[in-house]
């Protein structure tokens, strides 16, 4: 991918494998952020698989609940489900949740979705085929209000409280895939394929954008996390490549040209992506030919 030489159309419609590398201004080939994210997802999930099959007790369990060198870790939404269903949580769960929340507070709340989640990996591939179908006018792009995810978040917790059971875990594609990677085949994997097909043929990344309560829980952390994506108005030429590439494009609403005059009046040249829905995927970095985006840790001056 030649982000400095290709047009916006070429960048956002680049062949999938070419999005794993880019050509620098001096002609060198470098891996993109997508390459590093996919490598992170593969390594983390491979660690679960190898720990189980080689019995090395390094990273035991699944992404729903695990132990790293004997230290408990648990998905925050799963912990909320346990609390709703059982009305109390064990000490190990509190420690596991505190560790996960602390980690994602530092690296960016929904970084889990972009750097760890195995379904997020499949969803990105599905997104590529969805966009191809849309560009050829075979299907229509269907968008919904992303805030509907909060309704699903409440519904799944209410279901756990009413039923006394972690209802969401039955249909959770992240947990299903994680168990599939570690323990092998299950019929539940068919449900994951159904979700993926809906995303390919109906609505781009629909599960992640509109339903998943795991991502919604991490977004709450993202709102207060000091790790942010920073945008530079003086570098940006408003080509809109970032909006097209971003899986949560509403988080970049502030960067539109219509707000530039207001920024200039206030003397603002740089802004942070404040919305907790940002998954820290850096797709905006990968397609920006002006390098207007970068990561910024806002507490670094206090350390």
Q: In this structure, is residue 47 part of a structural domain?
A: no
Sequence-distant (≥ 6) Cβ neighbours of residue 204 within 8 angstroms:
127, 130, 131, 134, 141, 142, 143, 247
- Bridge partners of 271, per DSSP, are 231
Cβ pair 143, 202 in contact under 8 A: no
The closest of 7, 42, 15 to 181, measured between CA atoms, is 42
Q: In this structure, is residue 35 part of a structural domain?
A: no
Phi, psi of 59 (to 5 degrees): -130, 95
Q: In this structure, is residue 42 part of a structural domain?
A: no
Total number of domains constituting the chain: 1
pLDDT score, position 70: 87
Tokens of 103: 């980690």
Task: Say how many C-beta atoms besides its own lie within 10 A of residue 116's C-beta.
Answer: 20
Return per-residue pLDDT of the chain as tens, 303 residues: 999 999 999 998 999 999 999 999 999 999 999 999 999 999 999 999 999 999 888 999 999 999 998 899 999 999 999 999 998 888 999 999 999 999 999 999 999 999 999 999 999 999 999 999 999 999 999 999 999 999 999 999 999 999 999 999 999 999 999 999 999 999 999 999 999 999 999 999 999 999 999 999 999 999 999 999 999 999 999 999 999 999 999 999 999 999 999 999 999 999 999 999 999 999 999 999 999 999 999 886 545
DSSP character at residue 254 = G
Q: In this structure, is residue 271 part of a structural domain?
A: no
Q: Indicate whether this model's pTM tops 0.75.
A: yes
Task: Say how many C-beta atoms besides its own lie within 10 A of residue 170's C-beta.
Answer: 12
DSSP 137-167: TSS------TTHHHHHHHHHHHHHHHHSS-T
DSSP character at residue 109 = T
Q: In this structure, is residue 53 part of a structural domain?
A: no
pLDDT score, position 301: 55
pLDDT score, position 300: 67
Q: In this structure, is residue 235 part of a structural domain?
A: no
Q: In this structure, is residue 2 part of a structural domain?
A: no
pLDDT score, position 127: 97
Query: Residue 106 sits in which domain range?
Result: 67-220
Tokens of 121: 């990996």
Please list the alpha-helical segments (H only) found in the chain. Answer: 8-12, 33-53, 76-86, 91-107, 111-115, 118-135, 148-163, 168-171, 173-183, 189-201, 206, 213-224, 241-245, 260-266, 283-287
Please list the alpha-helical segments (H only) found in 29-90. Answer: 33-53, 76-86
Within its chain, how far is the Cα of 251 from the centroid?
13
Query: What span, in angstroms and rounded, lies between the C-alpha atoms of 291 and 81?
Result: 41
For tokens 């299907």, name the residue.
139
Q: In this structure, is residue 155 part of a structural domain?
A: yes
């Amino acid at each position: 991918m030649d982000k400095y030489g290709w047009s916006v159309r070429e960048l956002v419609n680049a062949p999938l494998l070419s999005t794993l590398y880019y050509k620098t201004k001096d002609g060198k080939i470098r891996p993109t952020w997508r390459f590093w994210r996919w490598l992170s997802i593969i390594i983390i999930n491979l660690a679960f698989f190898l720990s189980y099959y080689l019995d090395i007790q390094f990273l035991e369990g699944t992404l729903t609940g695990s132990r790293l060198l004997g230290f408990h870790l648990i998905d925050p939404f799963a912990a909320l489900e346990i609390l709703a269903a059982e009305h109390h949580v064990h000490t190990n769960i509190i420690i596991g949740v505190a560790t996960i929340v602390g980690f994602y507070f530092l690296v960016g709340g929904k970084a889990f979705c972009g750097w760890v989640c195995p379904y997020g990996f499949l969803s990105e591939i599905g997104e590529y085929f969805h966009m191809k179908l849309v560009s050829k006018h075979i299907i229509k792009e269907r968008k919904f209000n992303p805030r509907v995810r909060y309704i699903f978040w409440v519904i799944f917790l209410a279901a756990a409280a009413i039923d006394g059971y972690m209802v969401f875990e039955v249909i959770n594609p992240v947990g299903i895939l994680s168990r599939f990677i570690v323990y092998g085949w299950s019929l539940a994997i068919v449900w994951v394929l159904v979700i993926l097909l809906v995303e390919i043929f109906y609505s781009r990344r629909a599960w992640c954008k509109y339903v998943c309560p795991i991502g919604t829980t991490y977004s709450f952390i993202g709102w207060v996390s000091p790790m942010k994506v920073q945008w530079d108005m003086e570098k940006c030429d408003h080509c809109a490549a970032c909006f097209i590439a971003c899986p949560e494009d509403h988080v970049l609403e502030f960067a539109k040209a219509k707000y530039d005059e207001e920024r200039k009046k206030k003397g603002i040249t740089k802004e942070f992506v404040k919305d907790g829905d940002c998954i820290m995927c850096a797709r905006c970095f990968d397609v920006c030919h002006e390098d207007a985006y970068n990561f910024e840790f806002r507490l670094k001056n206090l350390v």
